[in-house]
Structure 1
Amino acid sequence: MTTKKEQRLRRARQTRIRIATQGVPRLTVNRSNLHIYATVLSGDGARVLASASTAEADVRKALGGAGKGATVGAATDVGKRIAERAKAAGVEKVAFDRAGFAYHGRVKALADAAREAGLQF
């Protein structure tokens, strides 16, 4: 019997194999019960080009304190931030890596906000 986490990681591995063949920077998303994290990694995965999360002090303050990072609104804010930071780092086009999470709720909100802010994927 496999656990829920093992199933998610298996799905993530398949996606990462497919993304690796494209050779473009990867926008990866990770979510926990309290926060959501977004990172843009270089095509080979060796360098972090940009990152944003609800765990950052200024984001927490804007959201109204600790424990407010697990909402769709917070994910939208992180999506806008990661797009701005990626563009500042010279990245226009990325491959979206949802890390095995369902494309729904917070993950979808982050992706849509990043697209609206000008990131292509």
Structure 2
Amino acid sequence: MTAKVLKRKLALRLKRKKRVRGKISGVASCPRVSIFKSNRTIYAQAIDDVTATTLAAADGRKLGIKANKDGAAVLAKEFAASLKAKGIEVAVFDRNGYLYHGVVAAFADALRENGIKL
């Protein structure tokens, strides 16, 4: 792809990200679960927007997980365990401008299967 196409794709994702973030916010009892995916790995974090702190995080690179649906399910299982350890059962999902499809949807579904209510 050309640089112009990539620049447009990123601009559109940032536009979607701002639109979503204008509608959702996280607090300590119900944090915002944000996902970031690159071509190689995926990351997730639970954020309290009131105090601007990260409550829990999961790094696919440290776990040796690739950025595919199976890797997203494994990362969600680990992330759900860390959320439960902190006493968090309910969260709001921030897809970070990505379409709710593929890896992002697999991550959200796996979080729900592991007992986190989104």
Which TM-score applies when normalising by structure 2?
0.86
Residue 3 (structure 1) aligned to one of 3, 8, 14: 8
- Partner residue of 1:48? 54
Q: Where does structure 1 lack aligned partners over 5 or more consecutive residues?
A: 64-68
Structure 1 residue 117 corresponds to structure 2 residue 104: no
- Partner residue of 1:89? 86
- Partner residue of 2:70? 73
* Matches of 1:34 and 1:84, distance apart in 2: 23
- Amino acid across the alignment from 2:13: R
* Matches of 1:91 and 1:83, distance apart in 2: 9
1:45 CA drift (Å):
5.9
Q: Where does structure 2 lack aligned partners over 5 or more consecutive residues?
A: none
- Amino acid across the alignment from 1:18: K
Q: Secondary structure of 2:22's partner?
A: helix
Query: How many residues of Structure 1 are paired with residues of Structure 2 in the alignment?
Result: 111
Provide, for residues 55-114 of structure 1, a one-character-per-residue CA deviation record: whole Å limited to 9, x for no partner.
Answer: 11xx21xx5xxxxx1221111001111111111112111110000101111111111111
Once the two structures are aligned, what percentage of the paired residues are identical? 36
- Partner residue of 2:98? 101
Q: CA RMSD in A?
A: 1.7
Runs (4+) off by over 3 Å: none
